[in-house]
Amino acid sequence: MNSNLVHATTPNSTVPGTITLYGKTGDVSDPENDSNAHCVIEVLPGGTGRTVDYMLTNPASACFQLRVESISMENMPPATQVLLTDDYFCDTMLGNDYEPKLDPSTNKNFWIKLKTGAAGSILAEQSISALNKKGFLSNQAEGKVTKGIQLVDMAQSGSAQEMTHTLSCVRVTTSSNKDTKFGEYLSTGNQTWTDKWREGDEDHAPKKECNVGVMAGRFHYGDEQGDTRHLCTEFDRKVVIEKTPWSPMFRECGIPLTGRYNSDKGRYQDCNEADGVGWDNTEYRYFSCPVDEVMVGRGHAYQKYGDTDDTGADHGDENGRTDYRCAKLYEGVESESNRISVLPGPWSPGHTEDGSKGNGHWDTHNGEFTCAPNEVLVGRAHRGDEKNITRYQCAKLRLPAR
């Protein structure tokens, strides 16, 4: 659940507000599961006028695979809205399906809208299923008393049980005020495709980065032996690029809903282990860069490296490990006051990784994806093999307010 305190204007407080999610990992149907865990979201300051989505399905998130039971808030900025939903993308359209095992994307059984009052609002730890009545909340827990938190609206299509272990997305919208200023959008400049390489070829170094600029597109055609290139873009002014560490590695092929729980390893089978993985029973792994960072590189095909994980060998194909590198951007000089804000857009429609028609539902294509003008890449998702589907997420960039 990566975040930082980039803002469009001077914040109202130098102490960040926080949202803490509590729950379990592993098999939540096991009555002996005592894997109590939590993760923390840092909230942008009041007056920034920003909306940030925190997807719990992001493998780079500290909340990845946390099955949430309860929530608390501390030192929240004023007039901040918090949307809790079991939709992967923070949508509020409800559905009727409920599958408790791995919380697939078809679970769309509730949404809750909270709003803070004065600065410093607090929510004492409260179960998600207990957030079911409009009005100001008044619970107490662990010596803390809720103050200034209002449940504005909510809806559910199933029972309270279907609100437990299914939270998938948290959307935080901070307020603007008379002092809020927004910088201009940053325009991209010269764009260049990298040289081709075969993604599954173990003779190539697996990590590929833009030597100049950041990623604004990707080309891949065919299976893991097909050609791959990155589209790297510069900008219309001096921008300092501070690359951050590579993301955790994860298997490219997605989350198998047929996977069995392995008690010895304390996790469900991954997509390179499970049987019967196909079109309709595999979820995407939606990787997106941390808040206010953009994509500059991707790694794949680590078969000649011995540091594999406990799911099995890496053969460089769709079952292989993938990681990404992101970067912070600064206008002119590397300084927090010059930090560029990143405003992600919606995920692209899916298309097959290898360019084929794909299960009869996706059109053939030439393998090339590019973001819209003046946008850059911040996310990529995939499931299955090369004949299955890839999606991308692009973002606009906003210069610091002057």
Q: Give CA 17 to chain center in angstroms.
A: 20
Place of tokens 């997106």: 288
Backbone angles phi, psi at 205, to 5 degrees: -65, 135
pLDDT at 263: 87
Name every residue whose Cβ is closer than 8 Å to that of residue 108 and which is 6 or more positions away in sequence: 85, 86, 87, 91, 93, 94, 95, 97, 157
The predicted pLDDT at position 177 comes to 84
Cα separation of 390 and 388, whole Å?
7
Tell me the pLDDT tens digit for each residue of 227-250. Answer: 889 999 999 999 999 999 999 999
In the chain, domain spans: 17-173, 188-398
pTM: 0.91
HEC string of the chain equals CCCCCCCCCCCCCCCCEEEEEEEECCCCCCCCCCCEEEEEEEECCCCCCCEEEEECCCCCCCCCCCEEEEEEEEEECCCCEEEEECCCCCCCCCCCCCCCCCCCCCCCCEEEEEEECCCCEEEEEEEHHHCCCCEECCCEECCEECECEEEEEEEECCCHHHHCCCCCEEEEECCCCCCCCCCCECCEEEEEECCCEECCCCCCCCEEECCCCEEEEEEECCCCCCEEEEEEEEECCCEEEEECCCCCCEECCCEECCCCEECCCCEECCCCCCCCCCCCCEECEEEECCCCCEEEEEEECCCCCCCCCCCCCCCCCCCCEEEEEEEEEEECCCCHHHECEEEEEEECCCEECCCCCCCCCCCCCCCEEECCCCCEEEEEEECCCCCCEEEEEEEEEECCCC
Q: What pLDDT tens digit does each residue of the chain (402 aa) get?
A: 333 334 444 444 567 899 999 999 999 999 999 999 999 999 999 888 999 999 999 999 999 999 999 999 999 999 999 999 999 999 999 999 999 888 999 999 999 999 999 999 999 999 999 999 999 999 999 999 999 999 999 999 989 999 999 999 999 999 988 888 889 999 999 999 999 888 777 666 788 999 999 999 998 887 777 788 999 999 999 999 999 999 999 988 889 998 899 988 888 998 888 887 777 788 999 999 999 999 999 998 777 666 667 887 777 777 788 999 999 999 999 999 999 999 999 999 988 887 776 665 666 778 889 999 999 999 999 988 777 889 999 999 999 988
pLDDT at site 4: 37
What does the pLDDT look like over 133-179, one tens digit per residue? Answer: 999 999 999 999 999 999 999 999 989 999 999 999 999 999 988 88
